[in-house]
Amino acid sequence: MRVDLLTREYPPHVYGGAGVHVTELARVLRAHADVRVRCFDGPREGAEDGVTGYAEPAGLSGANAALRTLGVDLEIAADVDGADVLHSHTWYANMAGHLGGLLNDVPHIVTAHSLEPLRPWKAEQLGGGYALSSWAERTAYEGAARVIAVSAGMREDILRSYPSLAAENVVVVHNGIDLDGWQRPSEEVIDQVAQRFGLDRSRPAVIFVGRITRQKGLPYLLRAARELPPEAQLIMCAGAPDTPELADEVSTAFLGLREHRTGVIWIEEMLPREQLTALLAASTAFVCPSVYEPLGIVNLEAMAVGLPVVASATGGIPEVVDDGVTGTLVPIEQATDGTGTPVDPDRYVADLAAALTEMVSDPERAARLGAAGRRRAADHFSWESIAERTLEVYRGVLSG
């Protein structure tokens, strides 16, 4: 069986959970199938066999970002002859799979990592391109042989957003975690990295990891951090803002927080995994204040390192975080207009602050929850089991 995985992100250009997913899925699937990866961001020098990177067509230089994306999709669609299955990830690559499937009469499978109807703030970033990305996603989903949701919560969102889809064609295959790649480093490494970034290991710390985008809820975290005990520290590993306006909003809130308390650290660079795992291991708890999160690989990564997770009870997060066992789920009543905005932002911020305060105030309990989190990650989210479930989807489609 030849499987072409179509994706925007692939090493070394990975900036989100979808890129992690494709990277790990490809690694495990290669033991079972002929896997070809077709990705964005130009040719890959020194990449493993079967990886092809595509640059944006020169003729679209300066065009709207969505149009440039569709240009790459056309390049990929013209290059998938011979595949038995096309499997695309995110709207960026969905149209490559849709058109390639039609052109070659092969099944196209979509994995849904997010949904454009539930990210209306992207209009700030793409302008009219958001209408194009929404059209591309909808067209690909409605034409796909199967749609894979990364959580049961995501499956519900898909069927609500695209009601014309047959429910039996939308299946759940969770994201996974490479436990070997996410282990607690040595104490020496932890100390070195903590010292580099100014983290005081004698004080409790909360850590956030994610892009600066509306869905990650960073402004709510910065408000909640004002209510944490004075000894608590906050580490923000946050970069790649969607818009200059959002970058300014987060920067202003961060500077205001630093005037209010000590131990507030903002790391904008994308850290190598060893340094990130060291910062996680030096922290007391991981926080995920997302207002939209289909599953949240960052939560699994934190759990694999042994951290308890304090996260919004939204999307697929409750399928990862076992409330009271591996962390705390913070209740959030949300608007139904697609933005995910808390109906009562003050209440959500207060509940988030209370959950974080409880966690950093009892490090022994936090450590117990963190240990339970690593066990849960190992038992339920290994890439080997997820690859096998994905192969079952392939076989089901090919058998008709």
How does pLDDT run across 303-354, given as a tens digit for each residue?
999 999 999 999 999 999 999 999 999 999 999 887 889 999 999 999 999 9
Instruction: Compute φ and ψ for 293, nearest 5 degrees.
Output: -155, 105
The Cα 155–Cα 138 span in angstroms is: 15
> pLDDT tier at 122 (50, 70, 90 boundaries)?
confident
Calpha distance 279→199 (Å, rounded): 9
pLDDT at residue 124 tops 80: no
Q: How far apart are CA 391 and CA 385, in angstroms?
A: 10
pLDDT, residue 295, reads 82
**The domain over range 179-380 is classified in CATH as 3.40.50.2000:** yes
Picking from 2-6, 83-87, 210-214, which range would have the lowest pLDDT averaged per residue? 210-214
> Mind spelling out the 3-state secondary structure of the chain?
CEEEEEECCECCECCCHHHHHHHHHHHHHCCCCEEEEEECCCCCCCCCCCEEECCCCHHHCCCCHHHHHHHHHHHHHCCCCCCCEEEEEHHHHHHHHHHHHHHHCCCEEEEECCCHHHCCCHHHHHCCHHHHHHHHHHHHHHHCCEEEECCHHHHHHHHHHCCCCCHHHEEECCCCECHHHCCCCCHHHHHHHHHHHCCCCCCCEEEEEEECCHHHCHHHHHHHHHHCCCCCEEEEEEECCCCHHHHHHHHHHHHHHHHHCCCEEEECCCCCHHHHHHHHHCCCEEEECCCCCCCCHHHHHHHHHCCCEEEECCCCHHHCCCECCCEEEECCCECCCCCCCECCHHHHHHHHHHHHHHHHCCHHHHHHHHHHHHHHHHHHCEHHHHHHHHHHHHHHHHCC
Q: What is the pLDDT of residue 400?
A: 82
For residues 207 and 371, give the distance between their C-alpha atoms in angstroms, rounded to a whole number: 17
Mean pLDDT of the chain: 95
CATH of span 2-176+382-398: 3.40.50.2000
Position 125 pLDDT exceeds 80: no
pLDDT at residue 307, rounded to an integer:
97
Judge whether residue 16 has pLDDT over 90: no
Residues of the chain with CATH 3.40.50.2000: 2-176+382-398, 179-380
Residue 248 is predicted with a pLDDT of 95
Q: Return the closest-CA partner of residue 279 out of 400, 379, 196, 159.
A: 196
Kindly report, residue by residue over 69-99, the tens digit of the pLDDT: 999 999 999 999 999 999 999 999 999 999 9
pLDDT of 158-199, one tens digit each?
A: 999 999 999 999 999 998 898 888 999 999 999 999 999 999
pLDDT value for 294: 84
Name the range with the highest mean pLDDT among 12-16, 227-231, 244-248.
227-231
The average pLDDT across 108-135 equals 89
Mean pLDDT of 279-292: 97
The reported pLDDT for the residue numbered 57 is 95
Closest alpha carbon to 351 in 381, 318, 313: 313
Overall average pLDDT of the 281-294 stretch: 95
32-69 tens-digit pLDDT: 999 999 999 999 887 788 999 999 999 999 899 999 99
pLDDT at residue number 268: 95
Per-residue pLDDT at 120 exceeds 90: no
pLDDT band at 355 (very low <50, low <70, confident <90, very high): very high
For the full predicted model, state whether its pTM sits above 0.95: no
pLDDT given for residue 242 in this prediction: 86
pLDDT score at 78: 98
Average pLDDT over residues 108-137: 89
Calculate Rg over the CA atoms of the chain.
21
Is the predicted pLDDT of residue 21 greater than 80, yes or no?
yes
